[in-house]
Structure 1
């Protein structure tokens, strides 16, 4: 058996693991095999990931025409819904992507035909028997032999459905106290529209979690085009229905929520229909489901996402305590901040899927090259986003509101939104790289440490400097996230210890 190629066998090629960040930097835009593979996964994934925040931005733009109170109320509700969703979504999607990529890599190109199905294959006894095998039977057999058995996919769908129902019940039943925790008092003008929007949008929680679980499956299969097409169809429906429900039917914030829920169920139906063509979603028995494996690694990522969620939710809560005007401005800045930064998640998805396959094959040369390429592309993307948002948001802020006071506060947040983009993109890509290495434990524990420091900064800086203090604290938070990801690879520890060879 041929010896595995060692990417570090050549003397002097790399002196320390940290050099992986600068490896072949001149070829960052090279469209070789790796470049094509990254682009084919990252580009559709980035578009799909940013589609939902863009839909939320469009919701924000339409609602901003109603009034600043409604804009602030919906801002709090969206922040709450998204952060609660992330608690379930992020662990589920991340674990699903890695597990499906690993299973798809180590399994044969196509599933073996079961003994039961073999009986349906016509034997070459005579030409007559071949003729008896109709075209309908041929199509049926082809479908049976091409649909793959991937236990992680079935497990992800079951867990996504259950978690979606739990989230819907939680948000609908606890809407008032949760909004109160977010800074919307029982005597606040924001309470009624915020509760109405949150309750209606929560009806779409099962569809949201199920669709994202399926997106995790498609990512593991390195197919990010299907989720993109489904997301575009759903969000286009949302954009069309928004003005109809809000202004034509005079439903206000309720109309925006209803339009969003309809779009999410449409996305789920499309993804489920397409997934059924590729994977046999019904496992032979419940024993084939991998609940134990999901729960073990999902719990680690749950710790991580709770830490992340608490930081962002606390920031939104502190902005809400400052009043409707700062909260409305914070909502606009936060949505733009997240939508732009999520473009880097496309690279993170590509890195995770390719790395999971490479580690499953023990192809460390491919793993090192992939990590270098996606990190370098992430830095370039961050610099481009910083320049675009620094100029574009000053002009585009008027798309979200005409209120002079809100626009003034938005202008204060613009430098933070734009300047932090390189940091944000690197943080997201580092996450994808470490997930691809199945380094879930380090990702969880390091994020908890980052969150503790960031929460302390939020309390101190927001109480002293208000709106500006919140954004300074968020900048510190993202910087620490990027540093934690850099530390693992740069020191060559954990799954990256092969970099020392």
Structure 2
């Protein structure tokens, strides 16, 4: 496999992988934004309930991200070494792990929805009850969600980002159309949102399973490969656990400032996730290209790709910052007509917009290190940023009654700590290890 050495081909290759991946990444948060807008006009309590239930369900998305990122790195190295069949085989084993994890989440949500919702909702029993009801239904889509993310992982590894675009976009467009119909047309209210959510995930997962079967490779589970994937996934899992602890704690703190603050946090957070996942398209290109370059033994090319992808991430983040900042008076009103919710959103907005250029660099460098398989360093850095930055900052915001602005200041600190650590790792060059496996 030959990697380009000039700037223009590199940009074309990044764009060729990133743009279809951008559609995939944007499809899910766009659907969530549509869902948030539909539910938001049911009232403050339903919107706050989705904020709680949605935060719990992001555990499934987190596990899916772990599977996808770990699979992309391993598949890309094998693909770069000329072993496409081996790259696809990584996807088969990841799909078995995805199915098992998805079923556990779906069953666990039926059992633990009530205590989780009560814990996160604080002293608001109406929000807790509605959140638990929503979560039980929406969690039925967890197996499909995880199968889809595993499918995305191996397809990105073999540098096929077009088919995932069609699969994910089609399923989410169908459900985005179904959501208002179920909520308002069929008068199902909040549960209509959960049904549409689960339907999108199930359909998407089925499409990725069909693509895997069409590759005509062995579909049997192989314990040795599963163990290796689990070892790699362990560090990504701990890294993801730090993220989940951060965002669940942020929701819990926001809930303690009142329903209006929690609803505003949901609006800002979903827009933040949308920006983050769109910016992550650059990281996905980095995973695939850097992993393939290292698999082919081209460590200098991998370093050149890392430098260029860092610049692309910075520019992309700055563009999002300009859009979010300019839309401060308009964007929150798309999701709520409650003046108290809007006022609370404005407290988070300066932090939200200001961190985006830094986040663009962080997400790009995350992709470089995942593609390189340098996940242990990423784990340690994320844990330090969580325990030493985010969690102390948001609970201090609660104790000092700093409100939603304090919560979002904590998120900014989290990004800054990670940025410093990632830049130091890039400068060291110790992440660029060549070979078909690491």
TM range (shorter): over 0.9
8 Å CA contact retained: 1:86, 1:309: no
The superposition leaves residues 4-31 of structure 1 with CA deviations (integer Å, 9 ceiling, x where unpaired) of 99x9xxxxxxxxxxxxxxxxxxx9xx5x
8 Å CA contact retained: 2:294, 2:433: no
Stretches of 4+ aligned residues off by more than 6 angstroms = none
- Look up the match of 1:45: 21
8 Å CA contact retained: 1:57, 1:335: yes
Q: Distance in 1 between matches of 2:194 and 2:399?
A: 33
- The one of 55, 58, 68 equivalent to 2:44 is 68
Q: How far off is 1:318 after superposition? A: 0.6
- Look up the match of 1:144: none
- Look up the match of 1:352: 287
Q: How far off is 1:69 after superposition? A: 0.9
2:255 is the counterpart of 1:320:
yes
8 Å CA contact retained: 1:151, 1:290: no
Q: Which runs of 5+ in 2 are unaligned?
A: none
- The one of 387, 392, 395 equivalent to 2:322 is 387
- Look up the match of 1:126: none
- Look up the match of 2:310: 375
The superposition leaves residues 66-100 of structure 1 with CA deviations (integer Å, 9 ceiling, x where unpaired) of 10111111111111211x12442222111100111
Q: How far off is 1:281 after superposition? A: 4.6
- Look up the match of 1:462: 398
Write out aligned runs for 1:397-412 (5 A).
Answer: 397-412=332-347
Q: How far off is 1:463 after superposition? A: 2.2
8 Å CA contact retained: 2:76, 2:371: no
Q: Distance in 2 between matches of 1:189 and 1:93?
A: 36
2:63 is the counterpart of 1:88:
yes
Q: How far off is 1:183 after superposition? A: 2.9
Task: Specify which structure has the higher proportion of helix.
Answer: 2
- The one of 272, 275, 300 equivalent to 1:337 is 272
8 Å CA contact retained: 2:302, 2:432: no
Q: Which runs of 5+ in 1 are unaligned?
A: 8-26, 112-147
Write out aligned runs for 1:15-34 (5 A).
Answer: 32-34=8-10
Q: How far off is 1:151 after superposition? A: 2.5
2:414 is the counterpart of 1:477:
yes
Other structure's SS at 1:251 match: coil
Q: Name the TM-score, length of structure 2 as normaliser.
A: 0.94
Q: Distance in 1 between matches of 2:284 and 2:333?
A: 33
Q: How far off is 1:272 after superposition? A: 2.0
RMSD: 2.0
Write out aligned runs for 1:202-241 (5 A).
Answer: 202-241=139-178
Q: Which of 1 and 2 has greater Rg?
A: 1
Q: How far off is 1:40 after superposition? A: 0.7
- Look up the match of 1:19: none
**Cα separation, partners in 2 of 1:472 and 1:94, compared to 1, 3 Å:** same
Q: How far off is 1:494 after superposition? A: 4.2
8 Å CA contact retained: 1:347, 1:429: yes
8 Å CA contact retained: 1:152, 1:289: no
Q: Distance in 2 between matches of 1:288 and 1:248?
A: 48
The superposition leaves residues 164-198 of structure 1 with CA deviations (integer Å, 9 ceiling, x where unpaired) of 0011112221001111221344x522122111111
Other structure's SS at 1:223 match: coil
The superposition leaves residues 302-321 of structure 1 with CA deviations (integer Å, 9 ceiling, x where unpaired) of 11110111111111111012
- The one of 380, 383, 386 equivalent to 1:445 is 380
8 Å CA contact retained: 1:352, 1:437: yes
- The one of 402, 409, 417 equivalent to 2:352 is 417
The superposition leaves residues 265-291 of structure 1 with CA deviations (integer Å, 9 ceiling, x where unpaired) of 1111222223332352524xx447501
**Cα separation, partners in 2 of 1:149 and 1:457, compared to 1, 3 Å:** closer
Q: Distance in 1 between matches of 2:94 and 2:268?
A: 33
